[in-house]
């Protein structure tokens, strides 16, 4: 029973994280991919690697595999914010003393659920949010 469960887990796992040893630039993490339907010997990790985690198959097109960031799809899956939600976060950060440069970087990294309305732009301006932050949000 335990052997069957282990074989099932191994056959469904297709992505392995492999941490290499420390180098002059520090430790690095690489992703080792193996076909889940391949025999166990063909799924063996390279020498010197250790298993950090496993995950099931990724829903990804072949052209997306050529990117340098294999976790880009998961990062893009973060929820999009409506402009009022983003405004509340920006105002919280402003009250905490976050600089306008950092606010600008933050809003540029957020996904919006929809475009800002003219009324929202006016509201953000009246709330004292810097123009550069409003412009970056409105242009998304």
Residue entry with tokens 């600008």: 104
Residue 71: both structure tokens together: 């976790």
Tens of pLDDT, residue by residue over 78-89, are 688 999 999 999
Q: 């799809």: which residue's tokens?
A: 73
Question: H or E stretch including 133?
Answer: helix 131-138
**Using alpha carbons only, what angle is made at residue 38 by residues 32 and 40, rounded to the nearest 5 degrees?**
80
Q: What is the pTM of this model?
A: 0.48
CB 50 within 8 A of CB 85: no
Q: Mind listing the pLDDT tens digit for each residue in 6-54?
A: 444 545 444 444 444 444 455 566 666 677 677 877 777 777 777 777 6
């Amino acid at each position: 029973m335990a052997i069957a469960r282990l074989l099932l887990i191994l056959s469904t796992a297709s992505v392995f994280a492999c941490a290499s040893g420390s180098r002059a630039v520090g430790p690095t993490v690489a992703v080792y991919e193996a076909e889940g339907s391949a025999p166990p010997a063909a799924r063996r990790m390279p020498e010197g690697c250790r298993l950090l985690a496993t995950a099931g198959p990724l829903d990804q097109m072949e052209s997306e595999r050529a990117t340098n960031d294999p976790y880009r799809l998961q990062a893009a899956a973060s929820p999009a914010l409506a402009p009022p939600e983003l405004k509340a976060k920006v105002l919280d950060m402003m009250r905490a003393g976050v600089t306008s440069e950092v606010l600008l970087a933050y809003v540029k990294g957020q996904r919006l659920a929809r475009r800002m309305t003219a009324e929202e732009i006016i509201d953000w301006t009246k709330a004292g949010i810097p123009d550069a932050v409003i412009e970056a949000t409105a242009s998304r």
